[in-house]
Structures are given as C-alpha cells and as structure tokens.
Amino acid sequence: MNSAFGSPEAPAPKSEGRRGEGGEKPETSKLPSFEAPLRPKRQQVARACDSEIDRLKQKIKELEEQLERERTKPLVSTSGPPQPFALTPPSSDSTPAPDSVGVSHNVVGGSQLVWGGVMTNTGQSSRKTWYGPSSLFYFINRMNTYLSAIFQQLHPDDLIQLKSVAKTFATPDCNLAEDEDKEDAKDASQTVSNEAYLTPTQEEYFLNLYWQSYHPALAILDESEFKRHYRSLATKPGQPRKPSPLVDIVIAVSMQVGMAVAQRNSSRVLPATEVGKDDPSIAGRLYYRRCQRLLYNEQEAPTLMTVQCHILSAMYTCFAAFQNMCHIALSLAVRSSHMIGLHTEPPADLPIATQELRRRVWWTLYAFESKVCMKLGRPFYADGDLTSCDLPAHDQEAAILAGSDFTSLSENATWLTYTLYHVKLVQAARRVHTAFYDRYSNFYSGNTGQVIYDDSAALERYAEYLSTVMKPLDDWAESVPDVLKTKRSGDGRPFSTDRSPIVMEQFIPPWLQRQRLLLELLYHVVKTNLYRPFICFPSTVTESQPLGDICLSHAASAAEHSVALTHIFHHVVTNTDLLVGWHEPFQWQWNGALTLAGYLFACPTSDIAPSVREAIDLSIVVFEDFGRSFGTSLGAATLMRDLAIKIDFLAELVRGSNPQAAVLPNAQDPATTDQFATQAEVVPSASDITFTQDLFAGSMDMNMAYTVDNSGDLDMLWPPIENVPDQWWVYNQPLVPNGFGERFPG
C-alpha cells in the first residue's frame, strides 16, 4: 500500500516526458556536493517546482483543449423542465490523474455540466474518496485553499478535520491500515471469547437505555416483539444467550451513548488527543462485529430484521465518524429493503401493526439515507418517486400497536408523530436539494472560468433560483404541530433565526424534549447546507466582479441558521443533559461551527459579523461540554480556537490595523497550534483596498489564472522558499508528488 508520506531524504520523483522551458528535462539526477551547504532539500524543492510548473502548463493546455471541444457543443437550453440527473462522482474519463488536482470542478455527463466535487481522505488511510459540492468537506477544501493563499502557507484539508477514531483506525474493530495484510484483520469470522461480552444483567441495562434514548427518535423496532425475541435467546442460567444480529447491534449503539454518559460522570479527565480504543464512540465494537458476521449469512435471503440491522449498523458507523462505512451500510439497507418490497405498499393480509412497522422502517431508512447523501454530496439510492408505500400513521391506534407505552401528546399527536414530521422535513429538504443541484448547468455553462464561482453574474442568477425553490421547507416549518415545537421566551418563534432564548418546559418527558430539539436542529442544519454554497471567498483575480445582493443574502442566511443552531446547543448543554453522548447532534454543531468560520473569513465586516463571531465562542463552549463525553469534541474545540485566532487577525487587517503590528501569535504560544507559525506581512491593510470580492487581490505573488475559490489545488500554493523560519521548514515542508497521487515532504 502506498504511503502518504515517504522518507524525508527521498528525492523528488522524475517527471517523465516533461521538459523545461529551455527544451531540456529538469535536472534531477545530480547528487549534492559534499562541500555544499546543509539542507539541500530546498534545491530539491526548487527542481520539483520546475517539474510541477511544466506539469501544470501541460494540464492547462489539456483543459483548454477540452474546454474548446465543449464550447463547440450546443448548450443546454435554460427553458423548459430540467434534465433529471443525480449528483455523481466524476466518470473515469474525467477523474483526475493520480498526480493531478484533487478537485473536479465540472463534470460533463451527457449534455449536462455537473457540479464537481473534491477527492480527499477523511479516514485513517491516505486513500481519497469523493465528496460533492453540498458536503462539508467541499466547503473545507474551498476554505483551506483561501487560507493557503492569504497566509502563504499550505493548509491541507486534514488540518480542519476532527481527530475521530476514524482518523486513528481503519475500522471500528480498531484495525490499523498497516494491519490490513494480517490474516486476523481480514477474518470477520474470528471468534471472540464469551468473557469479552457483557453479562445478561449488563445487556439489560443497555437495552433499557435504548428504549429511553434512540427508540422514540428512530421508531424502526416493535419494543414488545423485540423483548420476546430477546427472551427466546436465553439458554441455561449463567450461560451466554444465543447470538442475534439485531440484539447485538442494538446493544452496540446503546453502548455508544451509555459509555459516553459514563465517561462524563467519571472522575478521569479525557485528554484532547484520546481517541483510542477506549473512546465511547466505538464502545460495543465486539457486538457490532458479531452483527456484521451474522448479517453476511442473510444476504441472499434478507428479512425485515436484516434491514433493521443495516440501519442500526449505519447509525453505529456514522456516530463513530466512519462516513464511508455508514454510506455502504445504508446502500445494503436500501437494496435489502427493495428485495423484500419495503418500498411498496405492505400486503393487505399482514396485521396492521406489521404493515405500519414496515412503513416506518422504509421511510426512516429513506430519511436517513437522504440525509447522509446530502451531507456527503453523493447520489441517492432510495428513490421516493418509485415508492408506493404510504407514509406511516401516527394516530392513537398506530401508537398503541407499535409496542411501546408512551403517553399521548394530544388528540392528534402521539410519540409516532415525530417520525412523520422528520420524514416530511427530509422530503422537503431533498426536493430543494435536488432542484437546486439539477439546475447547475442551466445557470453555468463553463464558458467563464472553471466553476460557477468564476462567473458572479451566473452565481447571482443561481442564488435567485434557490430562493424560488425553498418554499417546501418554509411550508414544513408552518405545518409542525405546536406539541413538537420548542418554546421560546417573549415573542420568539420556533424554526426562526431570531436567536430568541429557548424555554425547556418543566415536567416534560426527556424523549419528547429530544424530539422537539432534534426536529429544530435538523431544520437549521438543512437550511445552513442549502445556503452555504453562496459563502464565497475573496478572489485573487483582480478583474473578478463583486457578488450580487441575493448571493450575499444567502451567505448571511447560512450563517444565521448556524448561529441559531449554536444558541440552541449552548442553552441545552449548559442547562440539561438531554444530548449527552449523542453523536449526531455533535456532528451538526461541527458542521455549523465551520460554516460560521467560513462566513467570517469571507465577510469579516458584514453587519452580522459580531453576532457570528460571538456564536463561534459559544460553539467552543458546546464542544468543551461534549468533550466531557468523548475526546473528538475536545479536538473540535481546539480547532475552533485556532480558526478564531485567524478570523480575528484578518478582521483587524480589514478594519485598518497596521499589518506590521497585527502579527499572528507565535507558534510556541500554547493558545495556538504549530501549524500557524508564519508571518502574514504580505497582506495589505484595509486602507489600501475596497472590500468586495477583490479583497486581498494582488497581495500575493501568485501568477495563475485561478481564483481562490475554484483553484482547489492546494499544492500550487507553496509557501515562499526564502525568509522562512527554520522551525517552519522542519515541520511544514511542502509536499512533493510521488507519482501515485500522494505527496511526501520534499
């Protein structure tokens, strides 16, 4: 397996077939003289730069030829209904070569131009996977490209990625990537001693926790039927029960939240770097592994229980931040549900309780899979248009038949009402998401630059179009019954961005309070993600045009919804224990916090900048509170502090501070990270510029015809070789291509 980092002494690889400007191959074979000064790596980097420049020139030539071919094709008409398509990764014809850029701005599929994505590694392995333009990883890439340009220092994407167990281990089993060749790492059938599992009493504790926590928000099980099934697995007293994939995965996801609560209540302080085998997010991994081994035998003849297991497996991997494993588990769930006909109306000869359970399982899966695909920017598997299954019922009879004993909320609302409105929210979000991204080629033809951010007029028209398709979400917010709304003080309105304080009613069951919070938080997440593409970072191209009013308004809306989400989180974590150990809400806050940071980098002097900056401080408090349960959140708090330092530094420059006085904190300062040790003296003061999208234009010696927002090739933004502190050179060497799409210190 190719390593992402080679030996520091390895020379830069030769670029076969490339020649320098003088027509000769770059000199790469000469050995340094023994009398030469130390640190010859700078010479190697210079030669690598020459090779890189030649390669980029050739790449630009190829792209220009490709663009010219596309211009000769007839453009897609902007009138009439759009051609249906799904967001898809780049085809093999357009996938970047191993040593090319990691961003595919546009992909031509048939007659349409599809908004490309980014290839990045989000796990322990150096291998990269694809994330679309709606994903947080695409936004991180855009933001990092901008930061690299502004600070003249490489900001790889993984600098703003959480230190989760997925960054430490290749699987939830705690396998390392370098262990993949070991036989025991591959053998899923390897047995585990019974002593490693819980006792029956301990299992009962975690099962009871499931019914109190996840079950009201994920109504895919019949509680009474499950308990009968669990009792049927008993053997002799004192002996382990018979294995069951469903029981195993329910225990596994319950242990994630249960062990997080236990960690919070323990006296042991969790260090920020502790994301090892004891991390609560992979508690129960033995049960998860046994579940997967048992599910393997059900692939040819799946049942409803098989689908339930795949959904819960996707939950387990999602909460542990194994994004791709979660996506794979959901694909198995969708395919298995198709095999047993869950997407169709249940047979009339089934009991009503079974019919309703099948509807709840299908639509919960539909919502879960849709959320993940929108979050990752990838194609949908579950097709609502081809579904004949009715939405699940939520009346009193359906609630009684569901097998759980929860109090009725009102004459027209039960504990199942949340499931219905959760599904309707995701349906509305998916309609807007699909309508928006399907129309990309109607507004951007590819004739101006590489991506729509190069064409401010097209971007403004695209922003105007988004405004016309947001109505389903607004209608949904109006339709939610009062019993599922979190109250506000004064005249504050739920599902709004007025930032009015929430009111946690006394003597309300925790499951109902969670349902209310989860609905509103998800609403703000959905709105944030839909508006976020219009957060546009200042350009380094002086001829770029200022953004339009609608585009700027959408960017502000993305920030406003993230501010509202953060205020709700802050109130909840500082006053209640409702979300202790809940990993998905933590991921929502992380998504919102990075959106806030990105907005302030893009619009540091906007009218709402002070309230956005305040929300970043609140998010740090939220992460510190979640960090009492799992270490990943403490890492999130550290990352946000570092981003806040950079945000404040740039804001001072824009407000007119002396750039020689406004020097970034030294890397040795414990309040900062060692990645931020460079001086930013090349950034001009605000008195020298007009704050538009040309902010910081011309402040860097970057002779390239790319904007910061569309470049995506962080390797082009090499820090200057001269006048670099020695400690920066030791720890922050530029990365040189190794010929396999990976890079190592030069």
Dihedral sign for Cα 662, 668, 671, 675, please. positive
| Count: domains in the chain | 1
Question: What contacts 419, CB < 8 A, 6 or more positions away?
Answer: 219, 360, 363, 364, 392, 394
Give the residue, 722 or 265, on which the prediction is more confident. 265
Q: What is the pTM of this model?
A: 0.75
CA distance 629 to 622: 12
Residue indicated by tokens 């081994």:
293
How far is residue 405 from each of residues 206, 247, 485, 552, measured CA to CA in Å? Answer: 18, 20, 22, 49
Tell me which residue range forms the domain holding 301.
175-371+382-403
> How crowded is residue 33: how many other Cβ atoms within 10 Å of its Cβ?
8
pLDDT of residue 13: 41
Residue 164 pLDDT: 67
Q: Please tell me the predicted confidence (pLDDT) of residue 214.
A: 96
- Provide the β-strand partners of residue 112: 109
Per-residue model confidence as pLDDT tens digits over 679-721: 222 223 223 323 333 333 333 333 332 344 543 433 333 333 2
Mean pLDDT of 241-265: 92
Dist CA 354 CA 166 (whole Å): 37
Rounded Cα gap, residues 47 and 26, in angstroms: 7
Mean pLDDT of 260-289: 75
Q: Which two tokens stand for residue 326?
A: 């979660």
Confidence class of residue 192 from pLDDT cuts 50, 70 and 90? low
Over residues 64-83, the pLDDT tens digits come to: 666 665 555 443 333 333 33
Q: Is residue 226 part of a domain?
A: yes
pLDDT at 542 (0 to 100):
35
Average pLDDT over residues 596-612: 95
Decide: 264 and 628 in contact? Cβ < 8 Å: yes
Q: What SS3 class is residue 129?
A: strand
The highest-confidence range among 22-36, 41-55, 276-290, 500-514, by mean pLDDT, is 500-514
The answer to whether 242 and 233 have CB atoms below 8 angstroms apart is yes
pLDDT at 43 over 60: no
Composition of the chain by helix, strand, coil, percent to 5:
50, 5, 45
pLDDT at residue 246 greater than cutoff 90: yes
Give domain status of residue 280, yes or no: yes
Contact in structure between 488 and 500 (CB atoms under 8 Å): yes
Q: At what angle do helices 136-151 and 583-602 cross, to 10 degrees?
A: 40
CA 614 to mean position of chain CA atoms: 23
Residue whose tokens read 């990645």: 675
Is residue 230 one of the residues assigned to a domain?
yes
How many other β-carbons are positioned within 10 Å of the β-carbon of residue 388?
8
pLDDT band at 212 (very low <50, low <70, confident <90, very high): very high
675 has pLDDT over 70? no
- Does residue 674 lie in a domain region? no
Task: Tell me which of 74-88, 121-135, 262-276 is least confident.
Answer: 74-88
Tell me the average pLDDT across 159-177.
67
Tokens of 134: 């709606």
d(CA 84, CA 86): 7
Q: Tell me the C-alpha distance between 495 and 21, whole Å.
A: 60
Identify the pLDDT of residue 257: 92
Residue bearing tokens 């249960």: 258
Kindly tell me if the per-residue pLDDT of 746 is higher than 80: no
Nearest alpha-carbon partner for 530 in 510, 513, 554: 554
Q: At what angle do helices 631-654 and 583-602 cross, to 10 degrees?
A: 10
Better-scored residue on pLDDT, 727 or 251: 251
Report d(CA 353, CA 392) in Å as an integer.
11
Q: What is the pLDDT of residues 617-646, one digit of tens each?
A: 999 999 999 988 888 888 899 999 999 999
> What's the pLDDT score for residue 672?
37
CA distance 251 to 583: 16
* 3 state SS for 414-451: CCCHHHHHHHHHHHHHHHHHHHHHHCHHHHCCCCCCCC
pLDDT above 60 for 570 = yes
Angstrom distance (rounded) from CA 605 to CA 65: 41
Return the SS3 of 179: helix
- Within-domain flag for 217: yes
* More confident: 682 or 380: 380
What confidence tens digit (pLDDT) does each residue in 405-436 have? 898 898 899 999 999 999 999 999 999 999 99
The tokens of 540 are what?
């380094």
The secondary element (H helix, E strand) that includes residue 139 is: helix 136-151
Express each pLDDT in 335-372 by its tens digit.
999 999 999 999 999 999 999 999 999 999 999 999 99
Mean pLDDT for 303-330 is: 95
pLDDT band, very low/low/confident/very high, at 150 (cuts 50, 70, 90): confident
CA dist list (Å): 652 to 511, 557, 610, 660, 691: 45, 24, 13, 12, 13
680: its two tokens: 């930013």
Taking residues 256-273, what's their average pLDDT?
A: 74
% pLDDT > 90, the chain: 51
Q: Is residue 702 part of a domain?
A: no
Does 698 fall in a domain?
no
CA 367 from centre of chain: 17
Q: Nearest-5° angle of CA 130, CA 131, CA 136? A: 150
Residue 270: pLDDT over 60 = no
* Of residues 111 and 258, more confidently modeled: 258
- What is the predicted pLDDT for the residue at 106? 64
Rounded Cα distance between 746 and 735, Å, is 6
Task: Give the chain's count of helices (H) and strands (E).
Answer: 22, 8
Query: How far apart are the C-alpha atoms of 593 and 139, rounded to whole Å?
Result: 12
| Residue 350 token pair | 């089934």
The CA–CA distances, whole Å, from 184 to 176, 237, 276, 277 equal 12, 32, 20, 17
CB 676 within 8 A of CB 665: yes
Which one, of 581, 571, 468, lies nearest residue 521 by Cα? 571
Q: How confident is the model at residue 109 (pLDDT cuts 50, 70, 90)?
A: low
Q: Is 317 a domain residue? A: yes
